[in-house]
Amino acid sequence: MQDLTDRKEWQRLATHHRDIASSHMREWFDTDHTRSSCFSIQAGEILLDYSRNRITQETLQNLIGLATAIDLKKHIEALFTGQPVNTSENRPALHTALRDPSASLALNHGQDIPGMIAAARKQQAAFVQRIHSGEWKGVTGKPIQHIVNLGIGGSHLGPLTCIQALKDFAITHLQCHFISCVDSTHFNEVLQQIDPETSLFIVSSKSFTTLETLTNAQAMMASMKQTFGEQAIQHHFVAVTAAPDKAQAFGLPKENIFPLWEWVGGRYSIWSAVGLSVMLMIGVKHFDAFLQGAYEMDQHFRHADFSHNMPVIMALLGIWYTNFFGANAHVIAPYSQRLRHLIAYLQQAEMESNGKHVHHTPIKEDYMTGSVIFGEAGCNAQHTYHQLLHQGKHVIPVDFILIGQSQNKQDDILLASALSQAQALMRGKTYDEAYHAFLAAQCSTDEAARLARHSVIPGNRPSNILLLNRITPHNLGALIALYEHKIFVQGVIWGVNSFDQWGVELGKQLLPHILKNLDSQQASSMMDANMSHIINHIKSTRNEI
Ligand code: F6P
């Protein structure tokens, strides 16, 4: 296989980059009033306006040329048809099957995948019905009022993001809480907010080996058993896992276990029973709409021509900036409090998927992969890091995620703020503009010249506008699927496996030994001297308390 950077399509992009790197977007906007409509894509209820990018039609053609040369179409089909796209673990990544109502997937290694999905969905729906109707009761006979999701990473961020985003679609008075990290303060805070007699704990862990989740689950189970006896477990704990044997060995009754499968990646699992807390909050019908939105985005991704394919275009723009402009970060800017957890969700989705340097095949590693994802909801970002976006030396593309429907004046201010930021990033402010503005504000010529220097804003900073009319289960499903596919395309181009996460393993392996040393009364042993130094220091400060 040819190295990516040796491909003629890559070289063509490098030459093209040299040709247009000094062009300013403001000139393109001033001379072409159709730019916004030319560089827009509508997919379902989502509009992508990507006109504020440092691209011309030729850039697009070159980027699409690269995607075509690496046979992206074939890779997309491999994803949808259950080929082992997770090459290091030799598994398919079938999150798309979880939202495919036509259940057209062929039997995979003898497994009736659509049948398994349908059975699991039925089990979830029946459970939700029992909780909503009050038929399922706590150990003292009271109906459930609190849901506590115990999970981390993909087993936490999906439910957290969706429940916050879809608050307006909640159909119950259930209250949902989350415990993810091991942190006794957070654990105790949640304990204070719930009533154990009316609480249901969902232990969500694909592997059922995750230390944080198991530690929290164990502590919660111990506390419940101590108060209500052994039978509390059956009434108050359910599990979502791909390792039912481990969950049972942990003490969870078999009938309280909801399945997940190896062929669903943890950070792609919100569509499965990992979304149980979401289904409990918004109900089965809305959850179906959430799946339907994702399904429609899947169809768009699978069938739309690359030039009108939203995930493909977003992915290619990311490649353009990362590999040709040297950008190494990307901002997610949802101008909506409801979408605030989407930032962390996409942080895991993108960084755990593509934060890799190991390629499918041994190739030259002479290009960057992955992006640092960060962000903040709404105007808060403008008052924290936007200064650097406007005048710093980094090129950091931004995805502005906007909700068109406005309830009142405040929402219009929010929308206008986002649009102003996108415009300011694109246009910037020249020295002359700044100078004349200061003169108009009655500054002396000397003062105007001095201040103008500081207020020059280079502009030419890229951003996308993603516009949703409303946040609905359907649109949220489509939005999340859009990013999943964007990530997949980038992984394909970079030649990394977006579906493993070996990088997080080493820290997990080191932990037990460090924990043992931290817990022991003696001075730490068998550690390297520098680690012993900090551990002994921690212990000495503890002794002082
Ligand atoms: O961060 C590593 C990871 O394996 C993620 O991929 C996953 O979402 C998270 O830990 C939780 O894993 P599990 O669902 O197996 O507890």
Residue 107 has pLDDT above 60, yes or no: no
DSSP string, 211-277: HHHHHHHHHHHHHHHHHH-TTHHHHHEEEEES-HHHHHHTT--GGGEEE--TTS-GGG-TTTGGGHH
Cβ atoms 131, 280 nearer than 8 A: yes
Q: How far is the CA of 331 from the centre of ligand 1 (A)?
A: 24
Give me the residues paired with residue 46 across strands.
43, 468
Catalytic residue among 254, 394, 436, 508: 508
User: What pLDDT is attached to residue 153?
Assistant: 98
Could you report the per-residue pLDDT of 284-321, keeping only the tens digit for each? 999 999 999 999 999 999 999 999 999 999 999 999 99
Q: State which ligand 1 atom lies nearest to the alpha carbon of 155.
A: 14
pLDDT class of 520 with cuts at 50, 70, 90: confident
Sequence-distant (6+) residues with CB within 8 A of 135 are: 129
Rounded to 5°, the CA angle 475-66-75 comes to: 60
Cβ atoms 475, 401 nearer than 8 A: no
C-alpha 446/C-alpha 409 separation (Å) is 41
- Tracing tokens 């949640």 back to the chain, one arrives at 190
The answer to whether 508 is a known catalytic residue is yes
- Among 501, 506, 511, which residue has the most ligand 1 atoms within 8 Å of its CB, making it the best to mutate? 501
Cβ atoms 200, 236 nearer than 8 A: yes
Catalytic residue among 197, 212, 352, 376: 352
Could you report the per-residue pLDDT of 174-225, keeping only the tens digit for each? 999 999 999 999 999 999 999 999 999 999 999 999 999 999 999 999 999 9
User: What pLDDT is attached to residue 545?
Assistant: 59
Q: Using N-to-C axis directions, what is the helix angle for 57-69 and 72-80, rounded to 10°?
A: 60
C-alpha 292/C-alpha 166 separation (Å) is 15
pLDDT class of 523 with cuts at 50, 70, 90: low
353 lines ligand 1 (CB under 6 A): no
Could you report the per-residue pLDDT of 467-504, keeping only the tens digit for each? 999 999 999 999 999 999 999 999 999 999 999 999 99
Strand, helix or coil for residue 468: strand
Cβ atoms 147, 281 nearer than 8 A: yes
* Residue predicted with more confidence, 520 or 163: 163
- Among 161, 181, 206, 261, which residue has the most ligand 1 atoms within 8 Å of its CB, making it the best to mutate? 206
C-alpha 215/C-alpha 108 separation (Å) is 35
Q: How far is CA 301 from the centre of its chain?
A: 18
Which tokens belong to 45? Answer: 């209820």
pLDDT class of 110 with cuts at 50, 70, 90: confident
Which tokens belong to 37? Answer: 């409509």
C-alpha 263/C-alpha 113 separation (Å) is 10
Q: State which ligand 1 atom lies nearest to the alpha carbon of 152.
A: 11
- Type of residue found at 356: K
- Type of residue found at 280: L
The answer to whether 352 is a known catalytic residue is yes
373 lines ligand 1 (CB under 6 A): no
Average pLDDT, the chain: 95
pLDDT class of 2 with cuts at 50, 70, 90: confident
Long-range contacts for 503-511 (Cβ within 8 Å, ≥24 apart)?
503/355, 503/356, 504/352, 508/211, 511/211
CA-closest residue to ligand 1 atom 6: 266
Catalytic residue among 33, 303, 383, 454: 383
463 lines ligand 1 (CB under 6 A): no
Which tokens belong to 243? Answer: 């390792």
The answer to whether 383 is a known catalytic residue is yes
Residue 485: CB atoms within 10 A of its CB come to: 25
CA-closest residue to ligand 1 atom 16: 205
Sequence-distant (6+) residues with CB within 8 A of 510 are: none
C-alpha 78/C-alpha 37 separation (Å) is 33
How buried is 181 (Cβ within 10 angstroms: 0-12 exposed, 13-18 middle, 19+ buried)? middle
pLDDT class of 106 with cuts at 50, 70, 90: low
152 lines ligand 1 (CB under 6 A): yes
371 lines ligand 1 (CB under 6 A): no
- Classify each residue of 347-381 as buried b or exposed e, where b means 16 or more C-beta atoms within 10 Å of its C-beta: bbbbbbbbbbeebeeeeeeebebbbebbbbbbbeb
153 lines ligand 1 (CB under 6 A): yes
C-alpha 304/C-alpha 308 separation (Å) is 6
Backbone angles phi, psi at 257, to 5 degrees: -105, 130
Q: State which ligand 1 atom lies nearest to the alpha carbon of 242.
A: 15
End-to-end CA separation in angstroms for the chain: 62
Which tokens belong to 306? Answer: 């690359």
Sheet (strand 463-468) strand order: 40-43, 46-49, 463-468, 398-403, 329-334, 372-375
- Among 152, 160, 250, which residue has the most ligand 1 atoms within 8 Å of its CB, making it the best to mutate? 152
Please tell me the pTM assigned to this model. Answer: 0.96
Which tokens belong to 381? Answer: 């970002």
Sequence-distant (6+) residues with CB within 8 A of 169 are: 282, 286, 472, 473
205 lines ligand 1 (CB under 6 A): yes
Which tokens belong to 214? Answer: 């198991």
Q: How far is the CA of 48 from the centre of ligand 1 (A)?
A: 31
